[in-house]
Amino acid sequence: MNSVAGCADDALTGLVACNPNLQLLQGHRVALRSDLDSLKGRVALLSGGGSGHEPAHAGFIGKGMLTGVIAGAVFTSPAVGSILAAIRAVAQAGTAGTLLIVKNYTGDRLNFGLAREQARAEGIPVEMVVVGDDSAFTVLKKAGRRGLCGTVIIHKVAGALAEAGMGLEEITERVNAVTKAMGTLGVSLSSCSVPGSKPTFELATDEVELGLGIHGEAGVRRIKMATADNIVKLMLDHMTDASSASHVPVRSGSSVVLMVNNLGGLSFLELGIIADAAVRSLEGRGVKIARALVGTFMSALEMPGVSLTLLVVDEPLLKLIDAETTASAWPSMAKVSVTGRKRSRAAPAESQEAPDSTAAGGRASKRMVLVLERVCTTLLGLEEHLNALDRAAGDGDCGSTHSRAARAIREWLKAGPPPASPAQVLSRLSILLLEKMGGSSGALYGLFLTAAAQPLRANTDLPTWSAAMDAGLEAMQKYGKAAPGDRTMLDALWAAGQELQAWKSPGADLFQILTKAVKSAEAAAEATKNMEAGAGRASYISSARLDQPDPGAVAAAAVLRAILEVLQSQGGSYSQGTPGKGPTVTYFAPTWLQLPWPLGFSAQDSLSVSGTKVPSHLQDQGPHSTHKLLKSFSLMPEMADAMAREKMEVPKKTWMGLRRLRSHRDAQGRRKTAKPRNHYGRIAHGHT
């Protein structure tokens, strides 16, 4: 602000400067309708009080509501002279009397009351309505109920009556009756701070103040922090308790107007949560909500709290609330009941996917489940680490976003087995992540998976998987506008995709290339710490502050690592095979090969080469020499060392089964012997 002393003047001047329908009264902190001359013969409505309650009261000046307002300093009643000047101004415009609408506070009653008496002494017809809608106190004090957000509803009712041409006395009588059917209760996480001062009271971090006023004064009760549902229930219980002297006469079957008011410091997100809880709680009590107003109507500076106002209505009163107004702060709302309205529409049925010729068998489907489970476990374990990395870019939610995706995938897997084909799995995952993951990560993964699924509808060999990676990366770049080197998740995926180009070559090996791809992705993710962000939210942050790897790239590399580890643990070799005959997958993991990870493979897999099973008579042989096994197949030193370290003894049946692989017939029936090719403990053959 420019100054503490001038903040109220500056605020009112700014509002008038931006609203052509308002004018300031020279020499006073008074705002009036700019079309005063059009009110000739009608009742004028003036209200006001201390500043700091914006948009009250100046935001409610307009046709169908207030004629003008008189503002005091922050939380201070306006001067009598300014109130009297406003009364004189509207009287000179030819109005048929003035109604003063005043909140029930001592200073307001005194100053507005004194101005009223002076105006009446001058022959100006003036009446005053004092609004007290506070439902906090169970036993009324001498001062009565405080005036709170319900005052705004009185502005609306009185404005509609005045616009309809009703006389001063009748308006006063009708409005006084409405105040008796209304109540307001506030709750807050803390007090507020008058400019230049400290908060008026302190709350523990686990406490909430119930029944506080709009000037930072303490409430009637302190309660422990609870959920929004529980706090709203407590508020409504308190407001409608018939034993309380300030209760609202609401019972099952009542029709009400609900006002959910932001006291100044709540986000719209929180306000929506409170509104939802209030609607559900009231309707659960059999109360019909005729109208609901949600927003900031009467604040208390930056107070992080909310107030609920209930007004019991009938059809004539509802018509007054629905009447047209030009006041800028009054919300535009539908003139239909909230209760009884259908609030949801059935979602369109999902299109049926065409049959997929690439559907895999049950074993591959189980392997897919294992892959997804490992990915979920990995992402959940990285949540805090990714959030910490992401805080450098501002919001710190990357880990939470990926964990949300992991939990959604787990729920999906619990509902039933995934589809049989890779293309369908990727398509379903893309929809799931778009709906559940959220954020730019959800959109980018959704794009990637949707595009990657398309090539896999026709084939699932290694070149097609490489093409799927290309398609996914292309889609991410097209819509995400990121490029390699921009310090995004694309950096890790791009590095992996470059390595996976080798899958398009004849004789390409699944694990050897995938392992290189994962290592490249991890290296690229780590390298993002030295990059200047060129896309995403991090691009708005100074590069000097970005000294950690990009969390999206770290997450993408971790996903690829998880996929590799599961495939390795399941064992097998995947290669291109003979040109024209398609790929061959050979799993070297019979029930009789019981080696622990990282040396062995799943005991549930079967051993086959060119469709030939290992004969059953080889299943029951005794132990044989580990050295002969290793020498026979020239296995990698890493495997030999590990087996020696684990003091493993290889059964003779295993050795004989593996030896059986040395000689077999090729696709044309010719006998052929192939030299084994070794890679990280897996036994493979160049022709398969």
Q: Catalytic residue positions?
A: 215
Distance CA(363)–CA(385), nearest Å, equals 34
DSSP conformational letter for 242 = T
CB 638 within 8 A of CB 680: yes
Which tokens is 192 given? 């507020």
Task: Give counts: helices (H), strands (E), the chain.
Answer: 20, 20
CA torsion through residues 309, 313, 317, 319, sign? positive
Residues in the chain: 688
Residue 17: CB atoms within 10 A of its CB come to: 10
Beta-strand relationship, 22-24 and 30-33: antiparallel
* Rama region for 429: left / alpha / beta (φ>0; ψ in -120 to 50; rest): alpha
Helices (H), 210-351: 228-240, 268-284, 315-322
Task: Assign 3-class secondary structure to 355-403.
Answer: CCCCCCCHHHHHHHHHHHHHHHHHHHHCHHHHHHHHHHHCCCCHHHHHH
Distance CA(135)–CA(138), nearest Å, equals 8
CB 33 within 8 A of CB 61: yes
Kindly report the CA angle at 613 between 612 and 616, in degrees rounded to 5? Answer: 140
Which tokens is 260 given? 């959910």
CB 507 within 8 A of CB 686: yes
Q: Which of 489, 452, 487 is nearest to 471 (CA)?
A: 452
DSSP conformational letter for 33 = E
